[in-house]
Structure 1
C-alpha cells in the first residue's frame, strides 16, 4: 500500500481532489491530507468528512510576509512529512509542498491551470506536472517547463468533479430567494493573489451598485475569506437585496440555481461556463488560455471596464433538464479521474 500525501492550500482544491481521493482509497492506497488554513478550505473538508492536518495559514497581501509565511509553512510541512512513509506528494499549486517534498526527496506531482501564476518552483522541483491540454506547449516551453515532466489531461480541472454534481432546490429556500427574484451569484476578485489587478475591484463595485438599483435581483456574494465577507457586509449593510455568505455552501448547486454569475476570475467562473450558466468575468489580470477559449466559445463574457457593466443582462434563466446533460459530465469526469489517479500512482515507481 502506497502512502500518498495531498496538500490543499485553497478552497477550490477540495472539490477537485474529492473524487481523486475516493478513487485512490478505492484502489487500496492510503491518503494523508494537510491543509493551509485559508478561506473556507477547512469548512469544505469538514463537509466531505475527510481527516486532515492543518498546517500554516495565509500570510496576507504583503510580499515580504508571503515569503516568510511560505518559508514557515515549508518547514512545518517537512516536519510533518518526515515522520511518515510518504511515497508521493500531490497538490494543485502548493509551492510549500513542492519545496518540502524536495527537501525530503519525496517524488512530487504538481498541477496548475493558470499559466500566469508564478510557476518557477513547480517547473524546477516537481517530478511530474499535470496540466490541461488547452495550455499551449510553446508558452510552457518559454516559461522553462521541461517537456519531459509534462502530462496533459484532455479537459478542464473543473470537469474532474462535475460528474458528481446533482442539483438541489433546498439552497433557494436557505437563501430566501423569492420565486420571482433574479438570482445573481457574485464572486469578488482575489485581492490577496499576486496576479491581482485593482481595476477588477472598481468594476466589481460598479456591479454591486447596479444590483443595488435592481429591486428584482438578489445578489449572493460568495467571499473568498471571512475577512472579505466582513468587508462586504459593512459595505452593503443598508442594501436589502444582498446576501453575503458566512459559511461554505455547495458552490456548484448555487451556480446551477443562479440566473447569472459575475466573478473575479478563477474556478467559479469556469464552473458556471461548463454548466451553461451565463457568466461575466471582471478579472483584469492576464487572460489565461482556458478563459480565452471559453470566451471564444461564447460561454464566458468579459467585463473589462466600469462602462461594460451595463452590458450585464439581469434576467431569469430557463434551466435545462440537468439529467439530459449529466451523462456526458459523468463520462468526462470518470475519464479524467482515471487519468489523474493513474499518473499519481505511476509517479511512485518512476
Structure 2
C-alpha cells in the first residue's frame, strides 16, 4: 500500500482528480488531500465529503502578492508533508507540491493542459518527477518544459476521462430557478487573479451578458470571486449568479450555449456535446 499526497489548488482540480483518488483508494492506497481555499475548491471538497487539509490562500492578481502567498504556502506545505513519509505526490498545476516533493525526496507527477503559463511550468516541470499532458499540445511547445521519458503525453482531453460515464442531474436547474423549456446559457468568468492574465478583467463579458439577456436567454454566470459576483449582480439583476459551488458539469451538459473564459468548462462542454 502506498501513501499518496494529492494537492488541489483550484476548483477544477477537485473534479479532475477525484476519479483518480477514488481509484487509488479502491486499490487499497492511502490518499491524503491538501487544498488551497481558492474559488470553490474547498466547497467542492466539502460536497464530496473527502477529508482534506486547507493550506494557504491565493495572493490576488499582483505579482508581489502571488510571490508572498506562494512562499508562505510552500513553507506550510513543507511543514505539513514533513514526517508523513509519502511515497508519491500528484497535482494538476500546483506550484507547491513539486518543490516540497523535491526537497523531501517525494517522487511526484505534475499535470497541465494550458501550455502558455510559462513561469509556472518552468518551475513545476523542472522539479517534478513526471510531467503529464494531453497529446493535443504540439511537442515543440512542450520542449522548453520537459522531454520524454519525463514527459508523458496521453491521448485526448482529461475531460474525456472523467466524464466518460457522466449523467447530468437536472435538479441543478431547479436549484437555480431555471426553466428547462427555455433557452439556457451558462457563462464562466475569467480567472482575473491568474498571473498569466496579468490580473485583467475581460471587457467583453458585460457585452456578451447583455446580448444574451436581450435575446431572452436565461443566463447563469459562474463567478470565481465575491468581487465578480457583486459586479455581476450590479450589472443586471436578471442574471442568475450562484452564491456557492454548483454542479457545473450538469449545467454545461443541459445548457443550450456555454461561453467560458476558462478552459475547463469549454472542454467539458465540447466533450458533452453542448
In structure 2, the gaps of 5 or more residues are none
Aligned partner of residue 85 in structure 2, secondary structure: coil
- State the Cα RMSD in Å: 1.6
Deviation track 1:130-179 (CA, whole Å, cap 9, x = no partner) reads: 111111222211x2423221111112111221024212222222222235
Q: Which has the higher contact order (CA 8 A, sep 6+)?
A: 1
The answer to whether the Cα contact below 8 Å between 2:7 and 2:35 also exists between their aligned partners in 1 is yes
What is the DSSP-based 3-state SS (H/G/I as helix, E as strand, rest coil) of the residue aligned with 1:267?
helix
- Rg: which structure is higher? 1
**TM-score, length-scaled by structure 1:** 0.75
**1:212 Cα deviation after fit:** 3.1
Is the counterpart of residue 196 in structure 1 residue 193 in structure 2? no
1:242-281 correspondence runs (5 A): 242-277=239-274
Matching residue of 1:162:
163
What's the CA shift string for 1:277-325, capped at 9, x where partnerless? 1xxxxxxxxxxxxxxxxxxxxxxxxxxxxxxxxxxxxxxxxxxxxxxxx
Shift of 1:75: 0.4
Note the 1:334-349 alignment, pairs <5 A: none
1:221-266, Cα deviation, whole Å (9 max, x unpaired): 00122332222222223xx2x1001111111111111110111131
Aligned positions of 1:131-146 closer than 5 A? 131-141=133-143, 143-146=144-147
Matches of 2:259 and 2:160, distance apart in 1: 20
CA distance, structure 2, for counterparts of residue 93 and residue 34 of structure 1: 14
Deviations 1:193-217 (A, max 9, x none): 1222788712112101212323x21
The residue correspondences of 1:276-315 to structure 2 (distance < 5 A) are 276-277=273-274
* 1:302 corresponding residue in structure 2: none
- Structure 1: segments with no counterpart, 5+ residues: 278-350
Count of residue pairs the alignment pairs up: 272
Counterpart in the other structure of 1:219: 219
In 2, Cα distance between equivalents of 1:249 and 1:226: 15
